[in-house]
Structure 1
Amino acid sequence: MGIRFSAPGRRLAVTVAGAVVLATVAAGCGGATKSSTDNSGSGAAAGAGPANPNGQIKKGLKIAFLPKATNNPYFTVLDSGGKKAVEAVGGQYKEVGTSSATDTAGQVSYVNTLTQQGENAIILSAQDPNALCTSLKQAMSAKVSVVTYDSDTAQDCRQVFINQASAEALGRSEVQLLGKELNYQGDIAVLSAAQTATNQNAWIGFMQDELKDPKYAKMKLVKVVYGNDDAQMSFQQTQGLLQSDPNLKGIIAPTTVGIKAAAQYLDGSQYKGKVQLTGLGDPNDMRQYVKDGTVQAFELWDEVKLGELAGYTAAALASGIITGEKGQSYTAGELGKYTIGDNGEVVLGDPTVFNAQNIDQYQF
């Protein structure tokens, strides 16, 4: 069963985007490619003219997904939703990317290659907001529509950002979950993904702001560490946190790879039940740790729907139905109608909290 979002959940929110500097890399890096067809397509391109809200999605659009890492199960599920949406509108789906979540040069190279191949739209999750701007602007100049999802770049380097949930809501809710579990007392730490990840840094910023509330006076964020969305590194970072601070009472891991690795470590250690863990995780990954008491609660959004929304948005852009301006509306298949908000952002909806009472209702 998927997560159901209520209509109010489709609200718009402003997220934090990093500044961007120029970077260029030659095309042709290694990685994986998954394609639905090999035929050529056509469609309105980026900056081709004013929006036509009454227009139709053009058939045969070539739309490529560029996740942070192709071997991350989170993006495998997410991009399956993108494939569903692209093929539903008669488009041609492709997924390309590197196997490392820190191969920023590889992401730049793939953007350049996709531009040269004449894709109608590129949908990417940025590893680093400081490295992709030049290549993305070149893509848009070449009439390629650019959508970011999951992790954003600077506003002028894409047309629309598909945000999984409000950055503020996610950052604050992680602290709120852990605070209740700890009775608002004790040292806590954050196990993040890459140090340059735009979404992670935005969430951490709101976590720090939430901790300024007087009710957290006895809770202290003592350290932020980075596992680079690598399972082994995240496992080792968890071990290091617990060994370096015997007073540590809680960990927030706002990354599906990180929270699973941290749960694995806690589950087999003396800290199980003594150190609380929350964050963002897949129900299928976390089910056993919730049921055996290692984790009380965590949260996430519907990954398939996030991919679907990104796919429908790119198709609307490439067809000239929207241009990315605030206030423009479009229909995202069965997901319904969405409206572009401030800074070209569209928010999928509110996250869902998973615990022992409801986790078996979700299979992803």
Structure 2
Amino acid sequence: MIRISLALALSVSLVGLAHAASAWTGGDDLPTNPLACDATPASATSKPYDGGAVTGAPDRKGKPIKVVDVPKLIGIGYFNATSKGIADAAKELGNVDAKTDGPTKANIDEQITFIDNYITSGVDGILYAANDPVAIAPVLKKALSKGINVVGYDANSTPDSRQWFVNQAEFNGIAKAMVDNMVKESGEDAGVAIVTSTFTTPNQARWIAEMGAYAAKCHPKLKLLETVEAQEDNALSFSQATTLINKYGSDLKGIFGMTSVATPASAEAVTQAGQCGKVAVIGLATPNAMKPYVAKDCVKSVVLWNPVDLGYAAMQVLRATADGSLKPGDTKVKAGKLGELNVINGSEVLLGSPFVFTKENIDKFDF
């Protein structure tokens, strides 16, 4: 992501979704690329490498390397899962010493401090999931200038501040899955609300923008009532969802949860309000967090990917970067047990398509 303009975002409505309360949508102002309304796949467009360049890196090919993973925050199920994937890949590779460390809340200033401290103490590689794409860029560029390989995952930074970004699923694919499942459950002309993390978190802002574009194209009667910020905080997410339920009453037919914290908290709010079957909850969450709500038919669709695989892929990409086997201009990269992954958008590695967990399949997964 190049930038997120809060000033502009605060002044425009989510394209294609009518709104009854706030002009703020939680989306960014970057160009959107909505997928076809049916299942027609989009054609991939080749783009030149737009990632950053490491300066003065030593020859690390096949040599032991020390890697730190600094996610948005530690201590929640989602990033516990990505950390497990990173550790699994490091163990499989055999020549990587990897650890996860970071803030206990989604705070960009604290995340920057953690990264800066590891630059000073000395590491060969940094993995990160950005709390803010622009604010994190200077410290990542500092790492590149010190010869440290830098790979992002989950939430991107400005492309020139890292070498590669492992994208869990393309933003427009997530958007289509979210909106289609919401319409399936709540109807074409439903009033919906969004519970997101922060207004500058890059992946959520991108998903919301793409959701608006896709809804405008394929489900133009869907109405956005309000978007609220809830950090990555369970209590605040529950409170915000409860406020939406009370505020909009029967006009609210669905809540989008944009984080692995917001979605189960919104489902709990719907449950406690006695609105199961009346207010649909569609969101991004880990299956273990959603199993109780899916079992009770309060939630029918959970959209995600496998975060263990995401962390695993990120570690494999960093190792390939350090070895020089992944270079600008490459179209694929070998990622261990995941096979070959495609390089898209110049400097992104795509994990795959989003996955929808339902009552029929959710018990097959444990993370």
TM range (shorter): 0.7 to 0.9
Runs of 4 or more consecutive aligned structure 1 residues displaced over 6 Å after TM superposition: none
Equivalent position to 2:117, from 108, 113, 116: 113
1:173 alignment counterpart: 177
Q: Distance in 1 between matches of 2:339 and 2:220?
A: 43
1:226 alignment counterpart: 229
Deviation of 1:326 (Å): 3.3
Q: Distance in 2 between matches of 1:56 and 1:110?
A: 24
Give yes or no for contact 2:126–2:148 (8 Å, CA) kept in 1. Answer: yes
SS at match of 1:188: strand
1:193-272 mapped onto 2 (5 Å cutoff): 193-213=197-217, 216-246=219-249, 247-272=251-276
TM-score w.r.t. structure 1 length? 0.83
2:147 alignment counterpart: 143
2:294 alignment counterpart: 290
Say which is worse superposed, 226-235 or 261-270, in terms of deviation.
261-270
Q: Distance in 2 between matches of 1:209 and 1:312?
A: 33
Give yes or no for contact 1:162–1:346 (8 Å, CA) kept in 2. Answer: yes
CA-to-aligned-CA distance 1:320-359 (integer Å, 9 cap, x gap): 2224x23254321111123432231011001211111111
2:3 alignment counterpart: 18
**RMSD over aligned Cα, in angstroms?**
2.0
1:192 alignment counterpart: 196
Q: Distance in 2 between matches of 1:184 and 1:149?
A: 34
Taking structure 1 as reference, are residues 292 and 17 closer, same or farther at Cα in structure 2, changes over 3 Å only? Answer: farther
Unaligned runs of 5+ in 1: 1-15, 21-44, 50-54
Unaligned runs of 5+ in 2: 6-52
Equivalent position to 1:303, from 277, 301, 307: 307
Q: Distance in 1 between matches of 2:221 and 2:137?
A: 42
1:46 alignment counterpart: 54
SS at match of 1:225: strand
Amino acid across the alignment from 1:337: E
1:62 alignment counterpart: 66
Amino acid across the alignment from 1:46: V
Give yes or no for contact 1:168–1:203 (8 Å, CA) kept in 2. Answer: yes
SS at match of 1:97: coil
Give yes or no for contact 1:46–1:318 (8 Å, CA) kept in 2. Answer: no
Q: Distance in 2 between matches of 1:291 and 1:174?
A: 20
Deviation of 1:206 (Å): 0.7
Q: Identity percentage over the alignment?
A: 30
TM-score w.r.t. structure 2 length? 0.83
Q: Distance in 1 between matches of 2:325 and 2:347?
A: 15
SS at match of 2:222: strand
Q: Are 2:78 and 1:74 aligned?
A: yes
Deviation of 1:88 (Å): 1.8
Deviation of 1:185 (Å): 2.2
Deviation of 1:216 (Å): 2.4
Give yes or no for contact 1:56–1:321 (8 Å, CA) kept in 2. Answer: no
1:4 alignment counterpart: none
Aligned length: 318
